[in-house]
Structure 1
Amino acid sequence: MDHPEGGTSHPCSHLHIGFHSENRWPVRRVITASAFTMLIAKQYYPQEWEALDSTLGEKFAETLDGILIAERQNCRIIGDDYFAELEERSFHFG
């Protein structure tokens, strides 16, 4: 469904939060499988994330947060052809 100002109710890249299938949160990046998996692990399993993180290297780049931030660089930004101006002006994950 198109909106009068050029957006859609079904964004090209989006997340579903919860079980309501019409609940689509626009995302400005294509999230890689690694980034998505790490983000879910960090948000839903924080104790395990911290426990595993303590076994890694001492430099920030060697920590889980450092690895997740580096993986974000692999999540390319969606071009304007696929991310409507209305989606850009509204709430979205960037």
Structure 2
Amino acid sequence: MPCNRPDCDGQLIVFAVREDTGRTVPYDAEPVDVDHVGSTGCHVLIEGKAWNPVRLAEHFQVVFELPSIDRAHQLVREYQHHRPHLHLTTNTEGERP
């Protein structure tokens, strides 16, 4: 669905429930290249849940009985990563928060 904030120009977003907090959070619908430096802070969205990649790797290692955490991390890299959709405000000169 498109973001309803006018300053977003209709950027597409999806909602997912964070696995660690249980809160529903908007994410950019467009996945991020995992090898890109800007992928820090991204989550893996699986069936409506948003997972921190490290926690997901640990989960996969246990659930799938993988032989190593490295194999679990490789598996997580194969999933699409999404950046949280944020609206950051910055004060410009002369404006009050």
Which TM-score bucket, shorter chain as reference? Answer: 0.3 to 0.5
| TM-score normalized by the length of structure 1 | 0.34
Give the TM-score taking structure 2 as reference length.
0.33
Higher share in strand: 2
Query: Relative to total residues, which structure has the larger helix share, 1 or 2?
Result: 1
